[in-house]
Amino acid sequence: MKMHRLGKTDLLVSRICLGTMTFGEQNTEADAHAQLDYALERGINFIDTAEMYPVPPSAGTQGATERFIGTWLKKTGKRHDIVLATKAAGPNANQTWIRGGRHNLDPANIRAALDASLQRLQTDHVDLYQLHWPSRNVPIFGANSFEPKKERNSVPIEDTLGALDDLVKAGKIRHVGVSNESPWGVCEYVKQSETKGLPRIATIQNLYNLTARAFETTLLDEVCYREDVSLLAYSPLAFGQLSAKYVDDPQAVGRLTIYPPTWSPRYLRPMVVEATKEYAALARANGMTPAQMALAWCYSRWFVASTIIGATTLAQLKENIDAESIVLSDEVVKAIDGIHARYTNPGQ
């Protein structure tokens, strides 16, 4: 398993990260522990979670994912064998069960969020603490255009970094990162850290897959390269759509059929389905499953430090990890880019 350094930190992580947002919803505690055991056996040392998980988010399950990881850490004693990352939720008026609906990125909320996560995880620190989405108005989760009319009061980035600085000094956080951020956001975080002597973001966790390549087209790749901020790519299989299981069987059991279509409509767009058909045909014509090709492509991108994979079964997890050894030919990459030219970012 190849290892990559995150930003300017001393953290060396596997280029595959185990995502855990199904733990507590689609996966039981026993399932979660089995996945964590298997991931470590295969050389994965990087685990990503969030206070909001599992998804879809709900009052009844919130925090279960971190609790499952915490019981695994206590049972196995493997805390020092992994790089553990979690995230603090940004503002969302609909999620009133998180910190009483007052969840933002101000100092009091960040402290409360982290302390609760540490308790659930049964550890005294996290290696990477990420801001799940911005406090300010920014297009995320399927919205892809900035709208000034949606401006709202937000916590200044300097204040958020100040709160994180206190927690780094307290030994509760080793390094910090952002998620669902824009080029402006990355630049502002770096500027504030460098001018005010505050913690420097090491990572950005953003959407990236064959149907959503805006990380390239918005020049976030250049910004992150020049500022030494590492991309943690999430949703590399577009909620399972790029495995082509829904193309092969529209009623296949998975997130896109179990939950209401309003939860993840971007991956149900007709253009996403059409693009998936072409990617699947290309993969199969070259001796790969659609999931293997989609993941091998993501693993191989020069700007992806680690790709966050999730699975509901050990068989799926094995297939996803096995794709790490696949080297795509220049011809296949060229064909992928040709499909992308016809179906540009339909899942963004």
Active site residues: 53
CB atoms within 10 A of CB 181: 26
Mapped onto helix, strand or coil, the DSSP state of residue 208 is: coil
The residue with tokens 């990087």 is: 46
Angle at CA 131, nearest 5°, toward 91 and 6?
Answer: 165
CA distance readout (Å), 172 to 53, 115, 116, 178? 20, 9, 12, 17
How is the chain split among helix, strand and coil, in percent rounded to 5?
Answer: 45, 15, 40
Beta strands per DSSP E along the chain = 3-5, 12-14, 16-19, 46-48, 83-88, 126-131, 173-179, 201-207, 230-234, 304-309
Sign of CA dihedral 249, 255, 256, 258: positive
Q: Are 309 and 16 in contact (CB under 8 A)?
A: yes
CB atoms within 10 A of CB 275: 24
* Rounded Cα gap, residues 103 and 154, in angstroms: 12
* Rounded Cα gap, residues 272 and 211, in angstroms: 7
Angle at CA 53, nearest 5°, toward 193 and 245?
Answer: 115
DSSP bridge pairs for 230: 203
